[in-house]
Homo-oligomer: A and B are copies of this chain.
Amino acid sequence: MSISVLVQHEDFSMADEYAQLSRDCRCGAVVTFCGLVRELQDHALISMTLEHYPGMTEQALQTIAEQAQQRWQLGAVRIIHRIGTLTPNEQIVFVGVASAHRAAAFEAAQFIMDYLKTQAPFWKKEHSSQGSHWVAAKTTDQQAARRWE
Protein backbone atom coordinates (compact mmCIF):
# COMPACT_ATOMS: atom_id res chain seq x y z
CA MET A 1 0.00 0.00 0.00
CA SER A 2 1.50 3.36 -0.98
CA ILE A 3 0.24 6.76 0.13
CA SER A 4 1.45 9.92 -1.54
CA VAL A 5 0.29 13.44 -0.76
CA LEU A 6 1.27 16.70 -2.44
CA VAL A 7 0.38 20.36 -1.78
CA GLN A 8 1.71 22.68 -4.46
CA HIS A 9 0.87 25.61 -6.70
CA GLU A 10 2.02 23.81 -9.86
CA ASP A 11 -0.52 22.04 -12.00
CA PHE A 12 -0.62 18.24 -12.14
CA SER A 13 -1.05 15.82 -15.01
CA MET A 14 -4.01 13.49 -14.75
CA ALA A 15 -2.32 11.23 -17.32
CA ASP A 16 0.86 10.89 -15.24
CA GLU A 17 -1.07 10.32 -12.04
CA TYR A 18 -3.26 7.66 -13.62
CA ALA A 19 -0.23 5.95 -15.18
CA GLN A 20 1.42 5.75 -11.78
CA LEU A 21 -1.72 4.41 -10.08
CA SER A 22 -2.39 1.76 -12.72
CA ARG A 23 1.20 0.48 -12.74
CA ASP A 24 0.51 -1.95 -9.92
CA CYS A 25 -1.20 -4.78 -11.81
CA ARG A 26 -2.65 -6.47 -8.75
CA CYS A 27 -5.09 -3.56 -8.74
CA GLY A 28 -7.94 -4.07 -11.18
CA ALA A 29 -9.74 -0.85 -10.31
CA VAL A 30 -8.57 2.76 -10.45
CA VAL A 31 -10.92 5.57 -9.45
CA THR A 32 -9.94 9.20 -9.86
CA PHE A 33 -11.59 12.44 -8.84
CA CYS A 34 -10.61 15.83 -10.22
CA GLY A 35 -12.01 19.09 -8.93
CA LEU A 36 -11.86 22.06 -11.30
CA VAL A 37 -12.42 25.80 -10.83
CA ARG A 38 -16.05 26.29 -11.72
CA GLU A 39 -17.69 29.32 -13.30
CA LEU A 40 -19.95 31.26 -10.94
CA GLN A 41 -23.66 31.14 -11.71
CA ASP A 42 -24.45 34.84 -11.66
CA HIS A 43 -21.27 36.69 -12.66
CA ALA A 44 -17.91 36.00 -14.23
CA LEU A 45 -15.22 34.46 -12.07
CA ILE A 46 -11.85 36.01 -12.79
CA SER A 47 -9.77 33.85 -10.48
CA MET A 48 -9.70 32.04 -7.17
CA THR A 49 -7.05 32.09 -4.47
CA LEU A 50 -6.47 29.06 -2.30
CA GLU A 51 -5.02 29.82 1.11
CA HIS A 52 -3.72 26.96 3.25
CA TYR A 53 -2.07 26.21 6.56
CA PRO A 54 1.45 25.13 5.55
CA GLY A 55 2.48 21.91 7.25
CA MET A 56 -0.97 21.10 8.57
CA THR A 57 -2.43 20.56 5.09
CA GLU A 58 0.08 17.83 4.22
CA GLN A 59 -0.44 16.21 7.60
CA ALA A 60 -4.24 16.38 7.32
CA LEU A 61 -4.22 14.81 3.84
CA GLN A 62 -1.82 12.09 4.99
CA THR A 63 -4.09 11.31 7.95
CA ILE A 64 -7.17 11.15 5.72
CA ALA A 65 -5.38 8.77 3.33
CA GLU A 66 -4.33 6.57 6.25
CA GLN A 67 -7.88 6.46 7.57
CA ALA A 68 -9.04 5.33 4.11
CA GLN A 69 -6.35 2.67 4.08
CA GLN A 70 -7.59 1.35 7.43
CA ARG A 71 -11.18 1.12 6.21
CA TRP A 72 -10.62 -0.41 2.76
CA GLN A 73 -8.09 -2.70 1.11
CA LEU A 74 -6.25 -0.30 -1.14
CA GLY A 75 -3.18 -0.61 -3.35
CA ALA A 76 -2.36 3.07 -3.69
CA VAL A 77 -3.71 6.47 -2.71
CA ARG A 78 -2.60 9.73 -4.25
CA ILE A 79 -3.84 13.18 -3.19
CA ILE A 80 -2.75 16.45 -4.80
CA HIS A 81 -4.13 19.82 -3.75
CA ARG A 82 -3.13 23.05 -5.43
CA ILE A 83 -2.72 26.37 -3.63
CA GLY A 84 -2.36 29.99 -4.74
CA THR A 85 -4.24 31.71 -7.54
CA LEU A 86 -6.09 29.62 -10.12
CA THR A 87 -8.30 30.61 -13.04
CA PRO A 88 -11.55 29.08 -14.36
CA ASN A 89 -11.25 25.52 -15.63
CA GLU A 90 -7.93 24.97 -13.88
CA GLN A 91 -7.49 21.83 -11.84
CA ILE A 92 -7.68 22.25 -8.04
CA VAL A 93 -7.57 18.80 -6.54
CA PHE A 94 -6.80 15.23 -7.54
CA VAL A 95 -7.68 12.09 -5.62
CA GLY A 96 -6.70 8.74 -7.09
CA VAL A 97 -7.27 5.33 -5.54
CA ALA A 98 -6.17 1.93 -6.86
CA SER A 99 -7.66 -1.23 -5.40
CA ALA A 100 -8.33 -4.85 -6.29
CA HIS A 101 -12.04 -4.09 -6.04
CA ARG A 102 -14.05 -1.27 -7.52
CA ALA A 103 -16.35 -0.79 -4.51
CA ALA A 104 -13.32 -0.16 -2.26
CA ALA A 105 -11.78 2.24 -4.79
CA PHE A 106 -15.02 4.20 -5.23
CA GLU A 107 -15.82 4.41 -1.53
CA ALA A 108 -12.28 5.34 -0.50
CA ALA A 109 -12.13 8.14 -3.09
CA GLN A 110 -15.47 9.51 -1.86
CA PHE A 111 -14.40 9.23 1.76
CA ILE A 112 -11.15 11.08 1.04
CA MET A 113 -12.96 13.90 -0.77
CA ASP A 114 -15.61 14.20 1.95
CA TYR A 115 -12.97 14.42 4.68
CA LEU A 116 -10.71 16.69 2.65
CA LYS A 117 -13.65 19.07 2.19
CA THR A 118 -14.30 19.30 5.92
CA GLN A 119 -10.95 18.67 7.63
CA ALA A 120 -8.07 19.83 5.44
CA PRO A 121 -7.15 23.48 6.09
CA PHE A 122 -7.70 25.08 2.68
CA TRP A 123 -9.80 28.19 2.07
CA LYS A 124 -11.05 29.53 -1.24
CA LYS A 125 -11.43 33.20 -2.06
CA GLU A 126 -13.20 34.02 -5.30
CA HIS A 127 -12.35 37.09 -7.35
CA SER A 128 -15.04 38.29 -9.76
CA SER A 129 -16.20 41.51 -11.35
CA GLN A 130 -18.27 41.96 -8.16
CA GLY A 131 -15.18 41.93 -5.94
CA SER A 132 -13.57 39.28 -3.77
CA HIS A 133 -15.19 37.07 -1.19
CA TRP A 134 -14.41 33.98 0.84
CA VAL A 135 -16.34 30.91 -0.20
CA ALA A 136 -18.77 29.76 2.49
CA ALA A 137 -18.59 26.21 3.80
CA LYS A 138 -21.49 24.01 2.67
CA THR A 139 -23.66 22.07 5.08
CA THR A 140 -23.94 19.38 2.38
CA ASP A 141 -20.19 18.81 2.77
CA GLN A 142 -20.60 18.40 6.52
CA GLN A 143 -23.43 15.93 5.95
CA ALA A 144 -21.39 14.01 3.38
CA ALA A 145 -18.51 13.61 5.85
CA ARG A 146 -20.83 12.55 8.66
CA ARG A 147 -22.11 9.48 6.81
CA TRP A 148 -18.71 7.80 7.32
CA GLU A 149 -18.85 8.04 11.11
A14 touches B18 (CB 8 A): yes
Q: Judge if A136 is at the interface, Cβ distance under 8 Å.
A: no
A36 touches B30 (CB 8 A): yes
Residues of B within 8 A of A127 (CB): none
- A41 CB to closest chain B CB (Å) equals 9
User: Can you name the residue of chain B whose Cβ is closest to the Cβ of A15?
Assistant: B15
Kindly report how many copies of this chain are found in the complex they form together.
Answer: 2
Q: Judge if A84 is at the interface, Cβ distance under 8 Å.
A: no
Determine which residue in A13, A27, A37, A140 has the highest number of CB atoms from chain B within 10 A of its CB, and name it.
A27
Q: Judge if A61 is at the interface, Cβ distance under 8 Å.
A: no
Q: Which 5 A-B pairs have the closest CB atoms?
A: A15-B15, A28-B38, A25-B89, A30-B34, A14-B18
A contact residues vs B (CB 8 Å cutoff): 13-15, 18, 22, 25-39, 88-89, 91, 100, 102-103, 105-106, 109-110, 113, 140, 144
With contacts A29-B33, A29-B35, A32-B32 known, what are 14 further pairs, Cβ within 8 A? Answer: A14-B18, A15-B15, A18-B18, A18-B34, A22-B34, A22-B89, A25-B36, A27-B36, A29-B34, A30-B32, A30-B34, A30-B36, A31-B32, A31-B33
